[in-house]
Structure 1
């Protein structure tokens, strides 16, 4: 099967969050299942720099009059000895060669023409499914998140009624980020007028790229079974729950996985000291070096809690701040890596200054440091208000850092709470609390301290989590079966 994966970012070339990790790992996993999987990406400088031997395969005109070249080449950074990942990259410097991150300028303001920048991505997918490259034509287009959500709509209206429609899969990575724009931008998208309707991409008088994907995709997936159920409710449906309930027979959850070639404490290139479930000596050394590097007291006997996350309310960071005294009063430590909401950044900065031997804050995102944090920490905090899947709790388990999470979305699907029963049957992997409130969160913190004092039980829970294989084989098989049914 010829499958075209469409996303705005891809690890290790360009990453702002977990989407890039998934976009980078899935094509290889699909190739291992026998698919001819290629990727389509915007021509951001980091992506163009990673494209080897790029050649022009064609071009197309955008609805607003701009010409976009499509380059084809290999991505060595994603390839292995067994499989080469090939990519189509949009070469349009006027759209993609800019400072800041892929979506915002240096002042964290979304680019005013984001609707054009990602409409071009959707139309490119449709062109590649209809012969832009004379040597390869996609049989199915799989697009990820709102940036690629226009692809199903473009495919649906291409020669409408004139022949078989190229099927599409649309994956929701986070329903809260929908790509909503003013209605006056609709004319730039090149879609017929009926698409701007309640049955199409109209969203409370505006246009929503996310809704276009949900309305026109042949099938919708999201990144965990629990989240697939949650988004059909008013509480977590972000105004789209009615549409999702209406498409429930075309909606499923496929749990994300972890790339073992990237996230493995026994082989991780970012670590000074490697270790595995049979010998954890390296983890103790990593912890001591992590504490020293960030000004924390070097002490093997105090639990080190960590956060690696975008700093947003969704991720539960207000709970972390409100419950910080529970950690500090018991002698624990907290290390936070992330950026996002300015008020949260300032709050963590103040806490680090007030408690320099117990709290450290690193502003921004640093891939190398993220790996070292998982390797050196004892507890990974993911107390999210909602969480489609979450990868950090899986990284934590693989690195022997017990996740402390809220029972929601993919967190509920991946972490087993520690209690007498799960200790007895050796299924416990972390700490799970139910309600998004400070009291429930603090109780989970106290339970983490209690288990930490029982070293044999702590080590057994840690080893259980490290042995779980969150590999891509199962997820890729589920996607492959879905593609077959649609093609």
Structure 2
């Protein structure tokens, strides 16, 4: 088609409106990147209190009632550096007017009506995409993200004149499961209670709305697209994904290279780039002081900013903390499972000056850990893409990662051949074991002490292009193929 494709991106979070993790980062950055390559991209989210506070100029443009539930459609604009503002729609309903984050209350418990809340969001987004709520704009393509938007492709499949649909899997382990007894409350077609549709081992899986009904399925890295077709990584959905493999593709995420730029980052004690890498030592010293670590400039400082859940391999890190080699320090920022938070707190108490842990999330501290650490640890059991290893590469912080998903796609192991060729960017290990992680840390320490190979890895990593432009161009091609078909 000759005109700009009109694409509505639907998700449960997007930075800077609301963010709990990598999904928010991705959906926050992708629309601007799409607009830069000629897509009329727009974003729709639930109108959480935090999102409304972030765009106080949002104005009501439509009111409706879906299945008897009143909702209001708000519209606002987000500024984009060097481009036209991004139109943002917010679906306002009482179900979203709660304190806490999008999925949990202030005590960390999931809202029990999450399936109903996000089903309502999907109905509102479908009405918007079809031109029923904002009559001056109708989507050519709806791009839904993760299980919270999973019903969107399914709902649109019922429409005779519908937009094309793309569904992106950010993490297959989160599926939006609904107990069979509660399924009727969602008001979905009876024939969706089938393994060919949404039924999943006696429950409904809302993620199957995207996996079974979308015109195209994408994942956030090429390797993850292959992994989820196997029993090991498929979370019980590998059979469906193999069946739909012809419409499944992996497109590697990008990062916001303006937000994550050590040369301009306002959170840092010292800014630097590849030509002034020695200034990174100032950030290391500042981070050691901030976190109460010993002021040892020659120590290998390992950083980790993560959700503290089993997926991230936190237990593997915990298993090696008591026997770290001399000259290794660890700084961890994150929140999640209570037992992991307690264990990290205890490790920091038992090893003062060597191990530091901060519970929660602090955006500025996340940037300072990336800049101040020498190496960045990601021992994930699975990792659809991973963003923090990309931030680490950009900040000259050598990643130590497992060979899974996007980690394997983005980090080149420091083998002798890769080091000699100048291709190495990090340390990659295979088994999900504490012994393999300990060996990887020792490899990192040896290379760090060697000096020149370490600096070469830093510079090679900083030279990588992980901006959103490449991903945006691939999505544009995907949209154009769908519309041409």
TM-score > 0.5, shorter chain as reference: yes
Alpha-carbon separation, structure 2, partners of 1:59 and 1:485: 34
Shift of the alpha carbon at 1:13?
Answer: 2.3
Report SS of the residue matched to 1:88: strand
Shift of the alpha carbon at 1:120?
Answer: 1.5
Q: Deviations over 1:161-218 (max 9, x none)?
A: xx33321100000000111111233233332111121111111111111111101111
Shift of the alpha carbon at 1:326?
Answer: 4.1
- C-alpha contact 1:52 1:74 (8 A) present in aligned 2: no
Alpha-carbon separation, structure 1, partners of 2:109 and 2:53: 25
Alpha-carbon separation, structure 2, partners of 1:465 and 1:438: 26
1:443 aligns with 2:439: yes
Query: Structure 2: which 5+ runs fail to align?
Result: none
1:22-421 aligned at under 5 Å gives the runs 22-63=26-67, 65-76=68-79, 79-92=80-93, 94-131=94-131, 132-158=133-159, 163-327=160-324, 329-421=325-417
Deviates further, 272-281 or 250-259 = 272-281
Give the alignment's Cα RMSD to 1 decimal.
1.1
Report SS of the residue matched to 1:310: strand
What TM-score results when the alignment is normalised by the length of structure 2? Answer: 0.97
Report SS of the residue matched to 2:104: coil
Alpha-carbon separation, structure 2, partners of 1:143 and 1:428: 35
Shift of the alpha carbon at 1:36?
Answer: 0.5
Alpha-carbon separation, structure 1, partners of 2:360 and 2:191: 43
Report SS of the residue matched to 1:352: helix
Report SS of the residue matched to 1:85: strand
Alpha-carbon separation, structure 2, partners of 1:147 and 1:380: 30
Alpha-carbon separation, structure 2, partners of 1:168 and 1:270: 39
Shift of the alpha carbon at 1:437?
Answer: 1.2
Alpha-carbon separation, structure 1, partners of 2:252 and 2:390: 11
Q: Deviations over 1:338-358 (max 9, x none)?
A: 000110000000000001110
Alpha-carbon separation, structure 1, partners of 2:84 and 2:336: 36
Report SS of the residue matched to 2:460: helix
Report SS of the residue matched to 1:432: strand
Alpha-carbon separation, structure 2, partners of 1:368 and 1:255: 26
Return structure 1 stretches of 4+ with deviation > 4 angstroms: none
**Structure 1 residues 185, 57: CA separation in 2 closer, same or farther (over 3 Å shift)?**
farther
What TM-score results when the alignment is normalised by the length of structure 1? Answer: 0.96
- C-alpha contact 1:50 1:75 (8 A) present in aligned 2: no
Shift of the alpha carbon at 1:52?
Answer: 4.9
Alpha-carbon separation, structure 2, partners of 1:81 and 1:460: 34
- C-alpha contact 2:321 2:347 (8 A) present in aligned 1: no
Alpha-carbon separation, structure 2, partners of 1:486 and 1:188: 34
Alpha-carbon separation, structure 2, partners of 1:187 and 1:168: 25
Deviates further, 275-284 or 410-419 = 275-284
Report SS of the residue matched to 2:58: strand
Alpha-carbon separation, structure 1, partners of 2:174 and 2:391: 23
1:8 aligns with 2:12: yes
- C-alpha contact 1:314 1:386 (8 A) present in aligned 2: yes
Alpha-carbon separation, structure 1, partners of 2:321 and 2:57: 51
Report SS of the residue matched to 2:331: strand
Alpha-carbon separation, structure 2, partners of 1:402 and 1:280: 13
Q: Deviations over 1:91-121 (max 9, x none)?
A: 11x2112122110112221111111211112
Alpha-carbon separation, structure 2, partners of 1:407 and 1:286: 29
- C-alpha contact 2:16 2:54 (8 A) present in aligned 1: no
Report SS of the residue matched to 2:75: strand
Alpha-carbon separation, structure 1, partners of 2:358 and 2:8: 37
Count how many residue pairs are aligned between Structure 1 and Structure 2.
478
Alpha-carbon separation, structure 2, partners of 1:486 and 1:58: 29
